[in-house]
Structure 1
Amino acid sequence: MDFIAIDFETANSNRDSACALGLVEVKSGQIISEQVWFIDPQQRFDSMNISIHGITPSMVTGQPTFYELWPTLQPLLDGKLIVAHNASFDMSVLRYCLDQSSLTYPTFQYFCTYLMGKKILQELPSHKLNVIADYFGIGLKHHDALDDARAAAAILLKLLEREEQSDPLLLARSHGYKTGTLFAGGYTSFSALGQKSIRKKP
């Protein structure tokens, strides 16, 4: 199973204020590479966000903007299966950053470990990243972009192992979900089978 796990952190409540991105590449069920970037959002930092992830304005000074970073990111995402915990958040950050930079959406499918964890691990009281990570014994420094991406990757591998599946797409389908997609004209959500979710790019 091959996929890319990602996690964005934002400077404030605006979805186009990405200030960090963690990315973990999994090939044949093994993590083969990890990368993390600080991003200059060119926006204010809210104290609440700083208290969550610890990233301050000085830490992104001189770092690339999303527009400047995109030529590096695009080949890592295009055509891949992208995995995130609460993917609706991370995919919206990606879309808003692309929109703000007037960039074309890449084409890929994506998978949400939060929704799949909620479906499969019904015995848990919560399905937040730290709760599922603790359940599986996965070490985590929560809200560190790289650690969160690494944990999302590990959680998907654990869910596949638990369900005796080797393909995330089949795992989703076996539990009544279809993977989300991003494409040049818009996107579809990771959602229940039969649910209409196509949205056009504004």
Structure 2
Amino acid sequence: MNIISSASRQIILDTETTGMNQGSGPIYKGHRVIEIGGVEMINRKLTGRHYHQYINPQQLIDAEAIGVHGITDAFVADKPTFAQIAQSFLDFVDGAEIVAHNAPFDISFLDHELGMLNPQGPQLAEICGVLDSLDIAKFLHPGQKNNLDALCKRYHIDNSRRDLHGALLDAEILADVYLAMTGGQTKLELSSEEAGQERGDVMRLAQNRNALKVIRANADVMSIHESRLDLVAKSGKCLWRG
């Protein structure tokens, strides 16, 4: 399994929902998305751009789900519906690779929301790639716990702010986990202007440095040195004398 993606632009994504389907059938069955969080990464470097939106699901949130993410019916009552934010979300992820932990969960919910708006419209996998970071974790750590909290502990990533699940916070934490699992963040690349500035600073440092003081050997030191070379010459060719 090649765990390092070749995609240059990635969106580390997480969602929260009104609940989880119990039993067989689609994961999204009977439930809706209430929060989307995503952070942008280009060439394995976080850009600072993110997408975050709470959503009015137009239905009640399960008490069990509220216990997980803390998002209540009252909190989302004045938030936009998915129909109102769908285009801004699609614009953000278009052409990127989505990285999600247990991606089938998030993707199936989002595809269901998109399908409710346009049954003939594209699914997410048709407009962007999808990478499941849980599959990577299972490959690297078979037979171990591979939820986000366990991975944070394993890779020494601070998740102390994570008292409750939250889409944007979990996406930010997952970005750190994903980079750690796949080899860490790549080095900072300087722009040509910054690189030129750095080279100029180094040159000025060299120019301002005082000349090195040369201490020459005196006659006594030279005599000892020549005596040592005489001993070397007796055992064979002395390279230091040509």
Q: Of the candidates 111, 130, 153, which is equivalent to residue 131 of structure 2? A: 111
Shift of the alpha carbon at 1:13?
Answer: 2.8
Shift of the alpha carbon at 1:2?
Answer: 2.7
Alignment length (residue pairs): 164
Partners of 2:169 and 2:141 lie apart in 1 by 21
Preserved contact between residue 36 and residue 53 of structure 2 (Cα < 8 Å): yes
Shift of the alpha carbon at 1:102?
Answer: 2.0
Alpha-carbon RMSD across the aligned residues, in angstroms, is 2.2
- The aligned counterpart of 1:91 is 107
Richer in helix (by share): 2
What SS does the corresponding residue of 1:20 show, helix, strand or coil? Answer: strand
Tell me the amino acid that sits aligned with residue 93 of structure 1: F
What SS does the corresponding residue of 1:161 show, helix, strand or coil? Answer: coil
Preserved contact between residue 24 and residue 149 of structure 1 (Cα < 8 Å): yes
Preserved contact between residue 35 and residue 55 of structure 2 (Cα < 8 Å): yes
TM-score, normalisation: structure 1: 0.74
26-35 vs 107-116, greater mean Cα deviation: 26-35
TM-score, normalisation: structure 2: 0.63
Preserved contact between residue 11 and residue 41 of structure 1 (Cα < 8 Å): yes
- The aligned counterpart of 1:127 is 146
- The aligned counterpart of 2:78 is 62
Preserved contact between residue 10 and residue 18 of structure 1 (Cα < 8 Å): yes
Partners of 2:150 and 2:42 lie apart in 1 by 25
Preserved contact between residue 41 and residue 65 of structure 1 (Cα < 8 Å): yes
Shift of the alpha carbon at 1:125?
Answer: 2.4
What SS does the corresponding residue of 1:37 show, helix, strand or coil? Answer: strand
Preserved contact between residue 3 and residue 26 of structure 1 (Cα < 8 Å): yes
Q: Is the counterpart of residue 22 in structure 1 residue 42 in structure 2?
A: no
Preserved contact between residue 12 and residue 44 of structure 1 (Cα < 8 Å): no
Richer in strand (by share): 1
Structure label with greater radius of gyration: 2
What SS does the corresponding residue of 1:127 show, helix, strand or coil? Answer: coil
Question: Which runs of 4 or more aligned residues in structure 1 lie more than 4 Å from their structure 2 counterparts after TM superposition?
Answer: none
Partners of 1:51 and 1:10 lie apart in 2 by 12
- The aligned counterpart of 1:13 is 20
What SS does the corresponding residue of 1:147 show, helix, strand or coil? Answer: helix
Shift of the alpha carbon at 1:61?
Answer: 1.6
Q: Structure 1: any 5+ residue segments left out of the alignment?
A: 166-202
